Structure 1
Amino acid sequence: MGLREQKKEQTRARLIETAWRLAADRGFEQVTVAEIARAAEVSEATLFNYFRTKEDLFYAPLESFGDQLIDAVRARDAGTSALAAVHRFLLQDRGLLGSLEPSEAEASARLQVHLRVISDSPALLAREQRAFARYTEDLAALLAAEDGGDPITAAVVGHALIGVHRTLVAHVRRRVLAGAELRRVAAEVREHGDRAFSLLESGLGRYGVAA
């Protein structure tokens, strides 16, 4: 990565960190784009070069994760089902468990703040649902193309697989905000995730096996 790209990534990261810090103090709706730009020491125009909306500042990491999930399904090895690819991606160390494994108080407090900001904001909750809807559509389109253009079956499978993701995210939010210890929540995610994918395996296990 060149120096210019490094500086762009640093600016992007600073904008995201600043947005979360301000929202943690006052809530998402009470923080303006102008305030975020000023606190990050950039112009509003620069901010909008990186993010189209204020919501995008908060959901860029989530959307990146969703894109990586779709890419993991697209790049799965021959003989690997779409279900197995999603299962492996979500429950690997850098998947949903990535932010749960550390048990340090600082990590727990940071995650609680992030989840509380989202839970307290109707706008961010709505943005989250749109993000999940896009992942579902993208996964369904990929599967339909691989399956010779059967959009109905692909849509059903896409909703089922992303539904596991949505359910686990909701579980994490509920448990972390209730004060559960992160290692315990990580163990629960593994247990519930494995059980959910095992349940789907009987019906979807042979669907979308890569050629």
Structure 2
Amino acid sequence: MGLREFKKEQTRRLLIETAWRMFSDRGFEQVKVAEIARAAMVSEATVFKYFPTKEGLFFSGLEDFGDRLIAAVREREPGESALVACRRFLLGGIGGLLAQIESGDAQALDRLRTVSRVVAESPTLQAREQQVIAGYTEALAGLLAEEVGAGDDDIGPRVAANALIGAHRTLIGEVRRRAASLDDPRMFATDVHRAGTHAFALLEHGLRDYAIKPAAAPQ
């Protein structure tokens, strides 16, 4: 990395960390971009140069995550399914934060709780989160369609992509739910891995025999 790129990355990290502190203290909706700029000692134009939207400051990691997920599927080994690649990527670390929690880092668990709280309090962030996830669901569907040679009228790639990312969405909710109730970081990580393994096993084996309605009891 050259000096110019290094300085740009430093500025980017400064903006993210400054914004994070302010969002966690006051909530997303209450913080203005101009305040972030002043706290970071840069111009408001500089903030928008790096992050076109305030939501992008908060969800920069989620957007990067989506890119890495698509790359993991694209670069999987020959003979490996998209499901296996997604499962390895997601359960190998629902982001670096889960890996930190798994190592016993209580601060990482606190940070996750803060993320959950700030998102829960902000309709703007909830809408943006769904938009970002929908974006990489569409990207995954496009990749799968290209790989299998699907035509425009073939819904298979869209069904597969929505099923895989649906498991991911469910795990996000499960992560946030468990973060609110568990204090042991390693137990938290173990529970999340168990839930993720179950979710992908359900996808792998299909829904044909899932939730079969039992026969009515004799009267």
**TM-score (structure 2 length as normaliser):** 0.88
Q: 1:165 and 2:168 equivalent?
A: yes
Point out where structure 2 has 5 or more consecutive residues left out of the alignment. Answer: 208-219
Distance 1:160 1:99 in 2: 27
Distance 2:133 2:89 in 1: 16
Give the letter aligned to residue 196 of structure 2.
G
Distance 1:162 1:125 in 2: 17
Distance 1:76 1:64 in 2: 18
After TM superposition, the structure 1 = structure 2 runs for residues 130-141 of structure 1, keeping only pairs within 5 Å, are 130-141=131-142
Distance 2:95 2:109 in 1: 17
**TM-score (structure 1 length as normaliser):** 0.91
Equivalenced residues, count: 204
Secondary structure class of the residue paired with 2:49: helix
1:198, CA displacement in angstroms? 1.3
* Cα contact 1:19–1:58 (8 A) shared by 2: yes
Q: 1:7 and 2:7 equivalent?
A: yes
Q: Which residue of 2 aligns with 1:176?
A: 179
Distance 1:124 1:140 in 2: 24
Distance 2:181 2:161 in 1: 30
* Cα contact 1:37–1:43 (8 A) shared by 2: yes
Q: Which runs of 4+ in 1 moved over 6 A?
A: none
Cα RMSD (Å) of the superposition? 1.7
Distance 1:158 1:2 in 2: 38
1:174, CA displacement in angstroms? 1.2
* Cα contact 1:20–1:114 (8 A) shared by 2: no
Rg comparison, structure with higher value: 2
- Structure 1 residues 58-106: Cα deviation after superposition (integer angstroms, max 9, x where no partner): 0111110111000000111100000000000011147473243142332
1:177, CA displacement in angstroms? 2.4
Distance 1:127 1:100 in 2: 25
Q: Which residue of 2 aligns with 1:116?
A: 117
More helix by share: 1
- Structure 1 residues 158-193: Cα deviation after superposition (integer angstroms, max 9, x where no partner): 000001111111111111123442222211121111
